[in-house]
Amino acid sequence: MLRRIALVVLALALALGAFIRLAPSDPARWHQMPETITDRNLEGGAMRRVAGDLAALDTIARATPRTRVLAGSVEEGMITYVTRSRVMGFPDYTTVRQAGDMLEIFARLRFGRSDLGVNAARVDDWLRRLAEARRQAAVGDPAPDRHVERHGASGHEHLAIHAQADRLAHLDARALTVGAVAFHRSAADGGIRQGRRGRDQGKGQDRFHGEDHSRYQALGQGQGNRVWS
């Protein structure tokens, strides 16, 4: 008996799970917006009204896990998304509408009475990402005029750098030329001094050898006179 009851409960749970996951979502029912949208949390959902762009938010919503588009498009100005829970696959519906420069958002559950703040948390995360993307775009993509001015300034800086490099190159070439001339001139002066020193040494040796030869010749002549006398 208990086993039969357990099997019945299990069958009902499986049937309920299948119904939750496989029940069709009627766009005529869920692709709708209330007449008035204000910033507030509901028992089974949330409403938000903020400045923004539907196309940018659409990119963020489509990147959310287990989320798909039920109806609408950016061109139509309104989109409804279906996001399912991880385990049981409970569907939540989020409808976003472009109203001028404002985004009107209505997120709600399908089954049950309370979503425990899940829809509000998801919508607030989308809006946080939207604001972060807007800040990054403002920093990374300046206004066209400022962009041109920045490139113009960069171009002038590059020209100045190249001109400075050319001047340094000319100075280096002149320095190398002057250094080479000075080196050759120094080498030549050194060679001349070495030549003069060699000639002076040669003359000294000639004088030394000449004086010694004359002295020895005189001594030889004196010794010879002594012998013969």
| For residues 45-56, average pLDDT | 97
129 is written with which tokens? 């990402």
Give residue 11's pLDDT: 81
Give residue 48's pLDDT: 98
| For residues 83-87, average pLDDT | 93
| Residue written as token pair 């539907």 | 54
Q: Is the pLDDT of residue 152 over 90?
A: no
137-140 long-range Cβ contacts below 8 angstroms, 24+ apart: none
Give residue 13's pLDDT: 75
188 compared with 126, residue with greater pLDDT: 126
Give tens-digit pLDDT for 174-203.
Answer: 444 444 434 445 544 555 455 555 555 555
Write out the DSSP string of 10-45. HHHHHHHHHHHHH----HHHHS---S---SEEETTE
Give residue 175's pLDDT: 43
Q: Is the pLDDT of residue 146 over 70?
A: no
Give residue 177's pLDDT: 45
Mean pLDDT of the chain: 75
| For residues 87-108, average pLDDT | 96
Range among 94-108, 139-153, 200-214 rated most confident: 94-108
- Amino acid at site 149: E
| For residues 51-61, average pLDDT | 97
Q: How would you list the strands of the sheet with 40-42, edge to edge?
A: 40-42, 45-51, 102-109, 91-99, 78-84, 67-73
Closest to 123 measured CA to CA, from 102, 101, 108: 108
- CA atoms within 13 Å, Cβ hemisphere of 64: 27
Q: Is the pLDDT of residue 209 over 70?
A: no
- Contact call for residues 68 and 57 (beta carbons, < 8 A): no
- Contact call for residues 96 and 105 (beta carbons, < 8 A): yes
| For residues 218-227, average pLDDT | 45
Q: Is the pLDDT of residue 227 over 50?
A: no
